[in-house]
């Protein structure tokens, strides 16, 4: 599908994403930068702020009816936080919501997390448009299937 076709399809439904920081990780610059980039790309962003729990992230995603949850994590707790959020999402029936994220995550851990059903995990230096295009494509492909 061409970039123009993708954009035309996405105009039908505005994408809504939630960006969150879980735990005691107080480094929020990356989360704010990516939230602003998504917003500038026409995506509605709900930013939950610092020091959230997996439960508050999933509850906010449920209440806000988001298409995707993005978690920024720099604390090294990614092998605990992502599986916990994913389990809570599954428990709440959010099987049609993408869980993706970014931060300092070793390649081996990224592969393990993907096996658990976590979406793409972006590392420092990834261009913001790569992240935006990934989410747009995922939403289009997966939300389109729901409507069949």
Q: State pLDDT tens for residues 64-117.
A: 999 999 999 999 999 999 999 999 999 999 999 999 999 999 999 999 999 999
Is 1 within the bounds of a domain? Answer: no
Buried b (16+ CB within 10 A) or exposed e, 99-132: bbbbbebeeeebebbeeeebbbbbeeeeeeeebb
Average pLDDT over residues 50-77: 97
- Tallying the residues shown for the chain, one arrives at 148
Range of the domain at 120: 15-137
Count: domains in the chain:
1
pTM of the entire predicted model: 0.90
pLDDT of residue 148: 41
Strand bridging mode 68-73 / 44-47? unpaired
Token output for 21? 């920081």
Residue 8 covered by a domain? no
CA distance 35 to 25: 17
- For 25, other C-beta atoms within 10 Å of its C-beta total 20
Q: Give CA–CA dist 5/66, Å, rounded.
A: 22
- Write down the mean pLDDT value for the chain: 92
Tell me the CATH number at 52: 3.40.50.280
What are the tens digits of pLDDT across the range 6-24? Answer: 566 555 579 999 999 998 8
- Distance CA(148)–CA(138), nearest Å, equals 16
């Amino acid at each position: 599908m061409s970039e123009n076709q993708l954009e035309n399809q996405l105009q039908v439904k505005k994408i809504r994403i939630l960006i969150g920081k879980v735990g005691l990780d107080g480094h929020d610059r990356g989360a704010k930068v990516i939230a602003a980039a998504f917003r500038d790309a026409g995506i509605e962003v709900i930013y939950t702020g610092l020091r959230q729990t997996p439960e508050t992230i999933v509850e906010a995603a449920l209440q806000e009816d988001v298409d995707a949850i993005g978690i920024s994590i720099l604390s090294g707790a990614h092998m605990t936080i992502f599986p916990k959020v994913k389990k809570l999402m599954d428990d709440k029936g959010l099987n049609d919501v993408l869980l993706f994220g970014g931060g300092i995550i070793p390649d081996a851990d990224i592969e393990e997390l993907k096996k658990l059903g976590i979406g793409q995990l972006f590392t420092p230096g990834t261009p913001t448009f790569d992240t935006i295009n990934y989410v747009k494509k995922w939403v289009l492909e997966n939300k389109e299937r729901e409507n069949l």
